[in-house]
Structures are given as C-alpha cells and as structure tokens.
Amino acid sequence: MAIASTVLAQTADERLFEAIQDGKPLVAEGLIANGQASPRARNANGETALHRAVEKGLRELTVLLLRSGANPAARSNSGETALHLAALHADAWFAEQLLAWKADPRARNDDGETPLHWAALSGNAATARLLLLRGADANISDIRGNLPLHGAADGGDPATVRLLLERTDNRDAKNREGLAAADLARARGYGELTALLGGNAPRTERADRPADRRPQEEPPKQGFRSMDIDDPNHPRFQSY
C-alpha cells in the first residue's frame, strides 16, 4: 500500500525524470508524447529533461523533446546548457542536434566554461571540431583563466590539442595560476604534447639515479573538474 501511495503521489514530471535516470526511454517518451509531462520540466538541480536525456545518451528522447518544445538554451542551477552535456560525448550527434535547434556554442556556465571547454578536457575532438565550425571561440577563457587549450593539454588527447592550436591566438597564454597549456601537459607527463605546445618535455628518470631521490610532486591543478558523465565531481552533483 505504501509503495502504491508513493507512485500515485508522483507527478508526471517526476516520473519523467525517474524514467530517464532509470534508463527507460520508452516510458519517458510516452509521458511526453501523451502530453502528461512537460518537455520543459525541471528537476531540483534546475536541469531540464533535455539536459538529462542528452547526458544519458538517449537519442530518440532528445529528438522528441526538441520537437515538443524543449528549450535548448535552458540553463541548470550552475549555468550549464544541454550543449555542455553534449560536449561530453565523443560522438558529435547530440551537439549536432542541439545546434540545429539554435543552441548557443558560446554559452558559458557559472564558471565561465563553454561547451568547447568541456569537449576539450574530455578529449572529444570530433565534437570540438563541430562546435568550432558552428561558432565556438577557442580564445574564450573561463573565470580561472583557462582556455579550451588548457583543458585539452590537461586531458591529453593529441587530436584535440592540434585542433585547438590552429584556433588559439596565444598558445602561451597563462591561467590565473600562471600556467600555460604546455605547463599542464608537462605536469601530466605528456612529453609529445609538451613539445607540440612549445614547451620543454618532462625529464625522464635515469636508472642509476640514487634511490633516495625526492618524491615526484603532484601535478598542479589548473581548475577544471573531471567531466566524465558519471563522475561524482560532475557539475550536476555540485552545489554553487
């Protein structure tokens, strides 16, 4: 009886978000197609159903929501648009859909990060390329002074770094911690990327070096959060 009461107490919008979270796209699609749930419904984090569908990789639901009136410009409580979440996918399909519905490739969240920042850090070169073709700016820095190139260097994907090098006016630009993209690549041990970015590659340890050598220092943190979709540090789990 208690379970039945709980189900009955749920609104259609709540059932929509629950279906998306549980990976039941057909249930979610039915709620939208039948007009029971709003395509502009929001959860407690200010995310719309479109945010969640894109994040979960639900293609058919994403298209249905857009056609039913979902707003691609809607922002979560921390300022992300659905296009930020699309940038986390290596497949550019989600970004393509949102851009076709006039999503803003230069939208910035509360940390000043654009979808291009997220694609760069995630190492999603195809998505980053599409964003650039549709108007994203590689020279926009976030509130910590990080360019997308900083994120690409930290993420370690050569294709993304090369792509952004072609579009970045100053590869030696430093963030608020005084670090250039080459510094981040060096700190992560990415020798080839460091050289590509115009820095000195990290030195390798010699086999005959004394055993009591100083421990290796932690790489400097340049301010980006991990952008793995299910990572607990993902912005949707944070409070600002």
CATH number of the domain residue 117 falls in: 1.25.40.20
Tell me: pLDDT of 238 over 50. Answer: no
- Quote the pTM value: 0.83
Residues 6+ apart with CB under 8 A from 18: 10
Q: Which residue has the tokens 């989600």?
A: 94
Tell me: pLDDT of 209 over 50. Answer: no
On whether residue 121 sits in a domain, the answer given is yes
User: At CB < 8 A and 24+ separation, what contacts does 208-213 make?
Assistant: none
Sign of the alpha-carbon torsion through 6, 74, 96, 86: negative
On whether residue 148 sits in a domain, the answer given is yes
Q: What is the pLDDT of residues 37-72, one digit of tens each?
A: 999 999 999 999 999 999 999 999 999 999 999 999
**Domain around 173:** 106-205+218-227
Tell me: pLDDT of 204 over 80. Answer: no
On whether residue 191 sits in a domain, the answer given is yes
On whether residue 143 sits in a domain, the answer given is yes
On whether residue 165 sits in a domain, the answer given is yes
On whether residue 158 sits in a domain, the answer given is yes
| Residue 220 dihedral angles phi and psi, to the nearest 5° | -65, 145
**DSSP annotation of 180:** -
